[in-house]
């Protein structure tokens, strides 16, 4: 989609430097993709720890130890 926007030159230069983009378009697209990824992650954080049916870290580690012992009992 073509869009015309006015981006401050210093901000665009910084975005190109941080993203190591070779073009302005690449810098803008990379920044948008990164922004959207971060927002999705932030939205997921609100669900952290809300599913009681999942294993705890300790339960998962115990299960892994049991598998290792079953494969190699020595």
pLDDT tens for each residue of the chain, 74 residues long: 899 999 999 999 999 999 999 999 999 999 999 999 999 999 988 887 777 777 888 988 999 999 888 887 76
Q: What pLDDT score was predicted for residue 53? A: 78
Q: Residue 18: its pLDDT value, please?
A: 95
**The pLDDT value given to residue 52:** 75
Tokens of 68: 């290792």
Q: Give the start-to-end residue ranges of the domains of the chain.
A: 9-71
Whether the model clears a pTM of 0.75, i.e. scores above it, the answer is: no
List CB contacts of 26: < 8 A, sequence separation 6 or more. Answer: 19
Could you tell me the CA-to-CA distances from 1 to 12, 14, 23, 29, 55 in Å, in that order?
19, 24, 17, 12, 44
**Any long-range contacts for 62-67 (C-beta under 8 Å, 24+ apart)?**
none
């Amino acid at each position: 989609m073509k869009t015309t926007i006015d981006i401050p030159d210093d901000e665009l230069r910084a975005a190109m430097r941080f993203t190591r983009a070779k073009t302005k378009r690449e810098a803008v697209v990379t920044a948008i993709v990164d922004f959207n990824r971060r927002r999705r992650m932030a939205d997921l954080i609100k669900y952290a720890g809300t599913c009681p049916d999942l294993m705890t870290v300790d339960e998962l580690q115990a299960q892994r130890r049991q598998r290792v012992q079953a494969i190699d009992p020595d």
